[in-house]
């Protein structure tokens, strides 16, 4: 299937992924059919972006007995929104439901287990055949073939795929399988309702590879801000090649932006190092709603100009402020110096050596790739990036990124506010985590929705977790990090 939604529709989702669902009025339908009620799901292939999207349809009744229909694309950037279809009309045994973005015409098959029909995207007027199944339910962690919830876990060996991973047996490892099984049981019983993927690699062997909510090892996942740590690797490769220098001044690469209206002389002091450590001083703070300029940036046609024209709030190099926007110039510099787009550079110099076929990167209209949060990868491939750093930049005995960059990027580079117990390297988070009666050094990538790549060198361990907690407010102490500490680190014998 070709790309299912036009870009304008995708950006609409981008602008809403932190917003609440709005209560649109619903049109009454005559004699709603009880056979239509419930949760219906389908997984569709988006060939343009080389990924699968999970669609959820929730059909119910309001207090007056009128049919209500809500649609959600779980794999839209930011998890999508539960979107009401505000015009609902029964047609025979099925229904027609639409809003300003899409129109669904669906009817049940003879067994009532499938809704067949078409989906029309109003932006381009195209129709797509589509079939929703009652026996799929992506709102539950796992279901059986009849759509019933699975609530008990028994360890299974990971699948052996042609992706370069050597599969091992958790029961023969340094981890206690009973503790991990308890943890997965709690995922299945929705005590950790937002976990969607869990991968554990120890001593180079893939020991655990579990997925939830309709996902599998072949599905890529949005990384959100864990993209930043991937970009850190790309920057290290570019610096190894002599294309960039972290000590260089930012505006030396873009001299045309100097002396413009509102120019502040201290902006000339910003180095690439300041951008990598979130100490640029630019007036953007993702953790403070009034200063979060990320959504505003995504609405502009020129990401680069938007960032470079930002005023200063602090002297460069002195104050940590988590700012996704400040990374966009770094991606533009790599593209400028290499003569390649960021996705092409990544594929050639990072992903090809690791046997990875990369998935979607979001690129703005001016062809600036968004490098702070808009990338997708399969969890098993995310684990390869962790293993690359665990092995000091080597994969299959080939040096992909220098050991020096791995060491400095995962060492303390930035002053972090005292309220945050983590430290910061070059786009990697750092923490001393408890294992038994001691603490070990762990560095990790972290993204909104609970996307994590944990690397614990002392344990020869990589753990990847993906999730959908996009409305969570956790900076630290979130449930997925707690799960990692309790059921992965806590499983070491």
> Given 3-state DSSP classes, what are the helix, strand and coil percentages for the chain, each rounded to the nearest 5?
30, 25, 45
How far is the C-alpha of 114 from the C-alpha of 108, rounded, in Å?
6
Q: What is the DSSP letter of 153?
A: -
CATH 3.40.710.10 residue ranges for the chain: 221-491
Kind of pairing, strands 451-456 and 438-447?
antiparallel
The answer to whether the CB of 4 falls within 8 A of the CB of 44 is yes
pLDDT in tens, 285-331: 888 887 888 778 878 888 899 999 999 999 999 999 999 999 999 99
Q: What pLDDT, on a 0 to 100 scale, did the predictor assign at position 127?
A: 92
How far is the C-alpha of 451 from the C-alpha of 228, rounded, in Å?
12
Nearest residue to 92 (alpha-carbon basis) of 35, 49, 22? 35
Sheet holding 438-447, edge to edge: 166-167, 205-211, 195-202, 461-467, 451-456, 438-447, 429-435, 423-424
How far is the C-alpha of 239 from the C-alpha of 237, rounded, in Å?
5
Half-sphere exposure at residue 57, Cβ-oriented, CA atoms within 13 angstroms:
30
Kind of pairing, strands 423-424 and 398-399?
unpaired
Q: What pLDDT, on a 0 to 100 scale, did the predictor assign at position 19?
A: 33
- Strands, E assignment, 171-228: 195-202, 205-211, 221-222
Nearest residue to 230 (alpha-carbon basis) of 351, 396, 365? 351
Find all residues with CB under 8 Å of 388, minimum gap 6, and list them. Answer: 233, 354, 394, 395, 400, 401
3-state secondary structure 405-446: HHHHHCCCCECCCCCCCCEECCCCEEEEEEECCEEEEEEEEE
The answer to whether the CB of 235 falls within 8 A of the CB of 275 is no
Enter the CATH code of domain 7-133. 2.40.128
CA distances from 144 to 93, 135, 149, 215 (A): 27, 8, 7, 14
Query: Would you state the structure tokens that stand for residue 452, as one six-digit string?
Result: 């994590």
Query: Would you state the structure tokens that stand for residue 416, as one six-digit string?
Result: 């972090």
Alpha helices, DSSP H only, in 119-224? 177-188
The pairs formed by 122-130 with CB atoms below 8 angstroms and a separation of 24 or more are: 122/98, 123/5, 123/6, 123/8, 123/9, 124/6, 128/1, 128/4, 128/44, 130/42, 130/44, 130/55, 130/104, 130/106
Query: Would you state the structure tokens that stand for residue 295, as one six-digit string?
Result: 């959504």
Q: What pLDDT, on a 0 to 100 scale, did the predictor assign at position 34?
A: 79
How far is the C-alpha of 229 from the C-alpha of 223, rounded, in Å?
10
CATH 2.40.128 residue ranges for the chain: 7-133
Rg over alpha carbons for the chain, rounded to the nearest Å, is: 24
| First-residue to last-residue Cα distance in the chain | 48
How far is the C-alpha of 140 from the C-alpha of 188, rounded, in Å?
8
The answer to whether the CB of 314 falls within 8 A of the CB of 280 is no
Q: What pLDDT, on a 0 to 100 scale, did the predictor assign at position 33?
A: 67
Q: What pLDDT, on a 0 to 100 scale, did the predictor assign at position 479?
A: 92
How far is the C-alpha of 315 from the C-alpha of 219, rounded, in Å?
43
Q: What pLDDT, on a 0 to 100 scale, did the predictor assign at position 78?
A: 76
How far is the C-alpha of 398 from the C-alpha of 395, rounded, in Å?
5
Residues in the chain where the model's pLDDT stays below 50: 1-32
Q: What pLDDT, on a 0 to 100 scale, did the predictor assign at position 293?
A: 84
Place of tokens 């930049």: 393
How far is the C-alpha of 120 from the C-alpha of 141, rounded, in Å?
29
Kind of pairing, strands 376-377 and 221-222?
antiparallel
Place of tokens 């992706």: 163
Enter the CATH code of domain 221-491. 3.40.710.10
- Strands, E assignment, 216-330: 221-222
Nearest residue to 390 (alpha-carbon basis) of 225, 208, 203? 203
């Amino acid at each position: 299937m070709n790309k299912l939604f036009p870009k304008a529709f995708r950006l609409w989702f981008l602008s809403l992924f932190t917003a609440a669902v709005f209560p649109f009025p619903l049109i009454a339908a005559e004699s709603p059919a009880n056979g239509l009620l419930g949760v219906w799901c389908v997984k569709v292939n988006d060939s343009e972006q080389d990924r699968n999207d999970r669609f959820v349809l929730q059909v119910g009744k309001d207090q007056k007995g009128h049919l209500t229909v809500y649609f959600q694309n779980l794999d839209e950037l930011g998890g999508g929104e539960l979107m009401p279809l505000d015009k609902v009309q029964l047609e025979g045994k099925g229904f027609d439901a639409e809003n300003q973005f899409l129109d669904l015409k669906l009817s049940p098959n003879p067994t009532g287990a499938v809704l067949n029909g078409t989906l029309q995207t109003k932006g381009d007027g195209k129709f797509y055949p589509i079939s929703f199944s009652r026996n799929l339910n992506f709102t539950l962690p796992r279901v059986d073939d009849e759509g019933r919830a699975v609530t008990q876990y028994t360890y299974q060996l990971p699948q052996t795929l042609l992706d370069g991973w050597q599969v091992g047996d958790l029961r023969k490892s340094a981890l206690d399988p009973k503790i991990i099984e308890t943890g997965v049981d709690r995922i299945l019983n929705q005590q950790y309702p937002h976990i969607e993927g869990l991968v554990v690699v120890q001593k180079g062997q893939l020991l655990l590879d579990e997925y939830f909510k309709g996902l599998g090892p072949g599905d890529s996942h949005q990384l959100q801000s864990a993209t930043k740590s991937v970009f850190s690797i790309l920057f290290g490769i570019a610096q190894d090649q002599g294309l960039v220098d972290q000590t260089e001044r930012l505006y030396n690469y873009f001299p045309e932006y100097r002396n413009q209206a509102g120019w502040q002389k201290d902006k000339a002091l910003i180095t690439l190092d300041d951008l990598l450590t979130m100490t640029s001083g630019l007036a953007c703070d993702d953790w403070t709603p009034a200063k979060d300029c990320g959504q505003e940036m995504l609405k502009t046609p020129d990401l680069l100009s938007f960032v470079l024209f930002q005023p200063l709030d602090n002297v460069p190099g002195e104050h940590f402020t988590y700012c996704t926007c400040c990374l966009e110039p770094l991606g533009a510099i790599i593209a400028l110096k290499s003569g390649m787009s960021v996705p092409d550079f990544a594929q050639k110099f990072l992903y090809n050596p690791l046997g990875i076929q990369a998935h979607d990167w979001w690129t703005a209209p001016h062809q600036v790739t968004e490098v702070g949060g808009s990338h997708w990868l399969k969890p098993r491939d995310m684990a390869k990036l962790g293993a690359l750093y665990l092995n000091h930049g080597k994969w299959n005995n080939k040096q992909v990124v220098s050991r020096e960059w791995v060491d400095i990027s995962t060492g303390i580079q930035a002053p972090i506010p005292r309220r945050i117990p983590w430290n910061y390297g070059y786009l990697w988070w750092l923490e001393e985590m408890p294992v038994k009666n001691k603490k070990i050094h762990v560095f990790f990538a972290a993204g909104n929705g609970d996307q994590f790549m944990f690397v614990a060198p002392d344990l020869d361990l990589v753990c990847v977790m993906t999730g959908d907690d996009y409305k969570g407010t956790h900076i630290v102490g979130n449930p997925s990090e707690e799960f990692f500490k309790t059921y992965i680190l806590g499983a070491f014998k």
